[in-house]
Amino acid sequence: MWVKHLPKIISSHDMAYVLFEDVIHFQPKYWIYEMGIPELICIIGNVNGLNDFYIVSMDWLISENHEDIVSFVGIHLIFPALNRLNLVMTQTVWMDMVER
């Protein structure tokens, strides 16, 4: 599972916000948590049947949807680490981010 490689993908191991989707009768509701990366890896690795979820920091966003498609967007992500994970990538987009 790609989540166990998060420390290799992100450059910072600070706290992150995580949004877990809870769908009841096709009306999504999101549970928002702030947690460290080790706790996040433990939770995602041990929960079955997750719907869409989003991992957010100030510089990047990582999401996985209910079809197991993972998206990585932002600065300070370590893209070579992603390439080494043997993920099936349908499209890779490299963007230069404008300095704030």
Closest to 2 (Cα-Cα) out of 73, 70, 78: 70
Supply the pTM of this predicted model: 0.76
| pLDDT tens, residue by residue, 26-59 | 778 889 999 999 999 999 988 877 889 999 988 8
> Long-range contacts: 82-90, Cβ < 8 Å, 24+?
82/9, 85/2, 85/5, 87/2
Distance of CA 36 to the CA centre of its chain: 13
* pLDDT(98) > 50: no
Amino acid at 29: K
* pLDDT for 90: 44
* pLDDT for 77: 80
Helix (H, G, I), strand (E, B) or coil at 22: strand
Greatest CA separation for the chain = 42
